[in-house]
Amino acid sequence: MKVRTRFAPSPTGSLHLGGARTALFNWLFTRQHQGTFILRIEDTDVERSTQESAQGIIDSLSWLGLDWDEGPYFQSERMDIYWDHLARLREKGMIYPAFETKAVLEVMRQKALAEKRSFIYDRSALRMSPQEIQAKMDADEVFVWRFRVLDEGVTDVPEVLMAGGHYHVKNDTIGDFVITRPGTQAKPGMPLYNFVCAVDDALMGITHVIRGVEHLPNAAKQVLLYRALGYDIPQFVHLPLIMKHGKKMSKRDKEAQGKFPVSILERRDLGYLPEATINHLVLLGWSSEDAAEILLVDKLKKEFDLARLSRANANFDEDKYLFLNAHYLKNMENAILVEKITPFLLKAGLNVTAFTAEQLEKMVAMEKKRCKTLAEFPDALAFFFMRPETYAEKGVQQC
């Protein structure tokens, strides 16, 4: 079996460190097995998705050096495929329209809360006759499509990080879940995540779904969709959380807004190196057999193994990130380092054309042991660019 993986971000914001780790683990696993790595942009949320965010994700992956073999595919360009699969489910009687408004559903949720039980949709829509349903559709009433889940039995989810390699979910705890946004017969609602994700993973031949643990509740629903459509079920790997100060790291945290940059492009602009970023990210949930801290990409591509993934949440260590960045700076060839710091020097208003390439290389050789990021070099090298305002009289006389 040839390994096929995908990284499937939503373009609703920048690529953050957690998403980059997911992309990295997919990429390393694929490269280790000489497989195919696919980039898929999940942009069916038209209200929140932007082309700017999609380009930012692509730029972030390119900066990290995580190249893809297929894509980028955009789900917004694959709508005919989803409508076709929706029709197949409808023909099989596996989905049905539900017309409840948000207000009605909220009443149901509050009732379940008061009775101290989980909210499971009560299938009110199934009590309508075919004539009633058609009349509502002809009147262009708003509805969603729900996938009908069998009441009995369990759904088995193959999961690498679970004891025994799988886990079970009781079907009566899942409920008939929604697979489209609200819409009408004239203007159908856009298909939702679980549905389009399952369809795309199946059609793209994905063998391993490696993603964050926040997607674990979706896995059973997607397995049900695979089975309903007659597709093979991939192997799932749900990565533990990345924690910061004991809390889940998130791009929406107040701490993330200015104090703790979680965006890959922010880190790039602050002078971090892709090598250090990859090194630090891979240590957030994986360890090499020799427990090495310095991990070059070539080594990772040869050694990365799902069996060495941790089941515990990882703690983001800013000091270690800086240490790794400083390490790669110190060991970088001076000519390459000059090329990397030049944009930072120009931004600081320093005239790099006043020196030859050889002179600049000598400067960075003198200062790179003191710098931890590329952004620190303008201050470290500023002395060389300054014209002295005073002169030592004895020195002038000797000229």
Listed in order, strand segments (DSSP E) in 42-198 are 70-74, 95-98, 144-147, 154-158, 166-170
How far is Cα 241 from Cα 213, in angstroms, rounded to an integer? 7
| Cis status, amide bond into 72, omega within 30 of 0 | yes
- Could you tell me if 185 and 140 are in contact, meaning their C-beta atoms sit under 8 angstroms apart? yes
Helix (H, G, I), strand (E, B), or coil: what is residue 198?
helix
Active site residues: 251
- Could you tell me if 40 and 69 are in contact, meaning their C-beta atoms sit under 8 angstroms apart? no
Q: Does an H or E element contain 212, and which? A: strand 208-212
- Could you tell me if 229 and 88 are in contact, meaning their C-beta atoms sit under 8 angstroms apart? yes
Both tokens of 181, joined, read 């946004």
For tokens 């009443």, name the residue: 107
Cα–Cα nearest to 202, from 181, 228, 237, 182 = 228
